[in-house]
Structure 1
Amino acid sequence: MARLILKPGKERSLLRRHPWVFAGSVAALDGRARAGDTVDVCTADGRVLARAACSPASQIRARVWSFDPEVVIDHAFFKRKVAEAVARRAAHPLLAGQEGVRLIHGESDGLPGVIADRYGPVVVVQLTSAGADKWREAIVGALVQATGCVAVYERSDSEVRGLEGLPPVAGCVFGELPEEPLTIVENGLTLEVDVVGGHKTGFYLDQRDNRLLTRHLAAGRRVLNCFCYTGGFSLQALAGGAAEVLSIDSSAPALAAAQRNLARNPALDAARAQWREDDVFQALRSLRAEGRKFDLIVLDPPKFAPSAAYAERAARAYKDINLLGFRLLDPGGILMSYSCSGGVGVELFQKIVAGAAVDAGVDARILHRLSAAADHPVGLAVPEGEYLKGLACQIG
C-alpha cells in the first residue's frame, strides 16, 4: 500500500480526527496510487495515522476512511459502515414514520463523499469523491442489503465531482424506478419527489424539521414563501392554518410540481394558496412597492457561496433579501431566514441578518436557531458539515 507522507507538523488536524488531508500538507507519496486507491497517511517520521482514499486531482488530497491503521478497506468495511448508518436512523425517534430520510451523510457517518437518501422504496446515492467513486459497487450493494430497496438511482452529477477530476454520472445502478410518480409522506403531507431531474437527490430532506416548525407558527398568518421549489414550506403553512400563502419561485416546473403536491393533499384549502413565477429579488421589491405586508416570511435561497472565497459576494445577496424581508413584515411578524452556503458560517450569517434588521429600521429578536434535521448530523471534528443554518426572528 502506498504511503502519503505529511510535512512536519501537518498531522495536527488528523490527530483531532478531521478526515481531510490538503495538498499543502503533503510532503510526498511513497509508492503508486491512482484516484480512489487506499493509502496510509503517515507523519514525517513514519507513524501511520489513518487509512484514506487518495485523490491526486483534488486540493483535498486524501479523505480518511478509518483512523485505525489496522482496518482493512474492502467490501466488508463498506457493508458494515452503511449498515451502521442506516441503523442509526432507524433507531432515532424523530425519524420514525418518515418516508424520506437521509441514510448516509458523508463525513459525519465516516463515509466521505457518500450521500444516500431514501424516498420510500427508492434510494438515491450521490458519490462526490474519488474514494467513493472507486467503491461504488460495494456502497450500492451495501445499501441494497441494508434497506431492501427496489431501486438505487445515482445522482453523482454535482459540480463538486469536477474538483476530483470525475465526470458526472446519473442513472439506475440497481433495479428499476417505479413507473408511477414517486411520493413520500412527510409529517402527514404527501409530496412528490423527482429523483431524476429534481434538485440535489430530488428533495430537500434537511429542511424537514424547519418545515414542521413553519406549520406550528403559521396559524392565522399571512405567509410569504420565497424560493419555494416544490412547495414544502407552503403546504406545511397551509396545514397549520395560514390565512393565505404566497409562494414565489423562478422555476415554472418547480411551481407546477408544487401545485400537484397541493392537489395530492385535498384536506388543504387550495383557495388560500397563490403561486408566482418570478425572480425573488425583483418580486420582493414589487411586493414592497405594492404595499403588501406579511406575518410570516420564509427565505430559503439556493447556495450563494459554494466556498469561503465567495462569502463576500454572498453576504451582499443575503443582506439584500433579508432587508427586503424585514421591510415586508408587520409588527409581530416572523422572518425565517436560511443559508445553505458552506462558505458562510453561523456567526457571519447572524451578523448579516442583524445588519439587515438595522438597515430596515426594525427591532428583531431570535426565537429559534435553525439547522438541518437529525438525519443530517454534523461530526464534531468536521464543523464544515454544518452547511445549513437559519434564524427565526420576530420584529416589533
Structure 2
Amino acid sequence: MSTVVKRWVASKKGAKHFLSGHPWVFIGDIIKGVNGTPPGAIVELVDEKEKFLGHGITNAFSQIAFRQLSRSPRDFKNSSETLASFVIDKLVAAANRRFKDNFLEYSHRLCFAEADSLPGLVIDCFVLEDDYQCFSIQASTAAMDQLLPSMSGILETFLSRLNKYTSRSWDKSFVILKNDALARKLEGLPAKEISENEEEKEAIILKNCPTSLSTFSIKIKSASKNNNNYLLFSVDLQGGQKTGFFLDQYHNISLLLENLNFSSRIDDTSPIRILDLFSYVGQWSTQLTHHLTYLRHQVIATVVDSSASALDLAYANVLRAGGQCRIIKSDIIKKNSQLLETLAEEKFDIVICDPPALIKNRNDYYNGKSAYQQLNNSLLSKVKVGGYFISCSCSQHLSESDLTQIVANAAQKNSCHLKTLAHGGHSLDHPTLANFPQGNYLKAIICQIIDASKEHQ
C-alpha cells in the first residue's frame, strides 16, 4: 500500500510552471483532488492528461498548496517508504554533499529546505568542543511540523548511517527547536510573536543538552587561507536569532579576505579599523580579526547592533580572535543619524553593512529599497580612501542588480570612485535551485574606494 493519500491534478498553467523546475504549485493551479486532503499529506501530482509530475507535501489552506518532494514515480510506492524514511535518505544525501566540501567537521547547514528536497525543513548542525553537536531545527510546513515528535529518532538513524564521515555520536548530540519563523503563519501553524524581550524567544529542547543553551562556543570554519584554524564563537542558542547563528555569510567573508590588500601599510603600525553594522555576534569582524592578526596587524573593531546580549557575545568573540572591540547599541534603521553623530568624523578601513531583510514582501519593495539606499549612502561615507565597503541584502525581493545600483548610487552620492571586487551569495552549504528564486535570497557586493588620481601611477 502506498503512503500517498490522494492524487491532485494541476492546471495547464500549474503543470507548465512545475515542469520549468519550480518546486511549488499554488492553490489556484490545482483543479482537482484538493477536497478532503489533510494538511501535510503526501499526494501525487499529475497534469490534466493524468501524466505524472511529482510527489509532494500539501496544505490546501496555504497559497503554496503543493511543495515538491520528488519527481520520481518510483518514490512512495509502498507502505515502508514513509515521509520519515524519505527525510532520513535526503539528510544522508545532503550530508554527503557537504562532506565533499569539507563542512561536516565544523558548524554547517545540514538541510536547506527545498534545495535539499525537504520543503519547510531547515537544520543547522552546530559543532561544539569535545565532539558534542547541536541540531537546531526550524519547521515551517505542516508536514515537517507533524514530523517534529519523531525528529530525534530520525536524526539518530541518520547519524548512524553517517558514521563513516564523522566520529560524533548520538550520545553527544542534542536537538533544539527554534520555531519562531513567521513563515509558519502562512501555513496556519502556531508561531510565537517576535518580541522585544529577547528572553521570550526561547528554544524548545527536543533532546537533552549537557549545559545551558546560552553559554555555548561553536566551531566555525576559518574563512582565511592564511590562518585556517577553526574559530570558536560564543553564541546563544536559547534566545539568539533564527537557528542561533548565521552560517550563510561564510562564502562572502571568504571573498572579502581574498580581496583584502593592506601591503601598502607594511610600515604603518596604526591598527586596522573595522565598522561592523548589524553585527549580531560579530561574525564578520571576528573572522577579519582572526585573519588580520595572523598577518601581524592590530585590529580595532566597532560592532553595532540593537541587541545588548548579542553585542556582549560579539565583544567576547573579537577579543578571543586577538582584536580590540568597541560596542555601540543602536537601532541603525531608526537611528541612523544618531549613529553617524556618535561616529562623528571617524573613518574606517573596512565597513560592513549586513542588515536584516528590509523587504518582507512585494508590497514593501519600494519602501525597503529606499531604506537600503539610505543605509548605503550614509555608511559608505565612513570608509577611508583605499578602504573596503561590503553591502549585503538578505531580502529575496531585492535583486542583485538592485543592490548593484544601490551601491553605485551611494558612490555617486558620496563623490567617490568605487571599484567592485566581487559579487557574493550563499555559502556552499546553502545550495540554491536554478528555477527557484524564492530560495536565492542572499546577495553581497565587495567594493574598494580608489584614489582615482593615483590609480594608474
Q: In structure 2, do the counterparts of structure 1 residues 218 and 294 end up closer, same or farther at CA, with 3 Å as the change threshold?
A: farther
> Which amino acid counterpart does residue 94 of structure 2 have in structure 1?
A
* Match of residue 276 from structure 1: 328
**How many corresponding residue pairs?**
389
Matched, 1:153 2:207: no
* Match of residue 313 from structure 1: 367
- Rounded to whole Å, the distance in 2 between the matches of 1:209 and 1:340 is 14
* Match of residue 92 from structure 1: 101
> Which amino acid counterpart does residue 222 of structure 1 have in structure 2?
R
Q: In structure 2, do the counterparts of structure 1 residues 76 and 269 end up closer, same or farther at CA, with 3 Å as the change threshold?
A: closer
Question: Does structure 2 conserve the Cα–Cα contact (< 8 Å) formed by 1:39 and 1:54?
Answer: yes
Matched, 1:130 2:182: no
Matched, 1:253 2:309: yes
* Match of residue 35 from structure 1: 39
- Rounded to whole Å, the distance in 2 between the matches of 1:346 and 1:376 is 17
* Match of residue 205 from structure 1: 247
Residue in structure 1 matching 2:209, options 156, 168, 176: 176
Residue in structure 2 matching 1:371, options 414, 425, 433: 425
RMSD: 2.1
- Rounded to whole Å, the distance in 1 between the matches of 2:420 and 2:71 is 39
* Match of residue 340 from structure 1: 394
Aligned-residue offset at 1:319: 0.3
Residue in structure 1 matching 2:109, options 102, 114, 120: 102
- Rounded to whole Å, the distance in 2 between the matches of 1:384 and 1:49 is 21
Aligned-residue offset at 1:342: 1.1
Aligned-residue offset at 1:138: 4.9
Aligned-residue offset at 1:295: 1.8
Residue in structure 2 matching 1:362, options 385, 400, 416: 416
5+ long unaligned stretches in structure 1 = none
* Match of residue 49 from structure 1: 53
Q: In structure 2, do the counterparts of structure 1 residues 61 and 362 end up closer, same or farther at CA, with 3 Å as the change threshold?
A: same
Aligned-residue offset at 1:329: 1.6
**Larger Rg: 1 or 2?**
2
- Rounded to whole Å, the distance in 1 between the matches of 2:145 and 2:34 is 23
Residue in structure 2 matching 1:144, options 153, 156, 161: 156
Q: In structure 2, do the counterparts of structure 1 residues 246 and 214 end up closer, same or farther at CA, with 3 Å as the change threshold?
A: farther
- Rounded to whole Å, the distance in 1 between the matches of 2:8 and 2:298 is 57
Deviations 1:338-366 (A, max 9, x none): 00111112122212222222222222121
Q: Secondary structure at the match of 2:156?
A: helix
Q: In structure 2, do the counterparts of structure 1 residues 63 and 326 end up closer, same or farther at CA, with 3 Å as the change threshold?
A: same
Q: In structure 2, do the counterparts of structure 1 residues 364 and 238 end up closer, same or farther at CA, with 3 Å as the change threshold?
A: same
Q: In structure 2, do the counterparts of structure 1 residues 312 and 242 end up closer, same or farther at CA, with 3 Å as the change threshold?
A: farther
Q: Secondary structure at the match of 1:112?
A: coil
- Rounded to whole Å, the distance in 2 between the matches of 1:360 and 1:287 is 19
TM-score (norm. length: structure 1): 0.92
* Match of residue 281 from structure 2: 230
Question: Does structure 1 conserve the Cα–Cα contact (< 8 Å) formed by 2:255 and 2:424?
Answer: no
* Match of residue 322 from structure 1: 376
Residue in structure 2 matching 1:285, options 309, 316, 340: 340
5+ long unaligned stretches in structure 2 = 128-132, 160-168, 193-202, 223-229, 263-270, 451-457
Residue in structure 2 matching 1:78, options 75, 82, 87: 87
Question: Does structure 1 conserve the Cα–Cα contact (< 8 Å) formed by 2:255 and 2:422?
Answer: no
Identity %: 28
Aligned-residue offset at 1:114: 0.7
Moved more, 170-179 or 106-115: 170-179
* Match of residue 447 from structure 2: 393
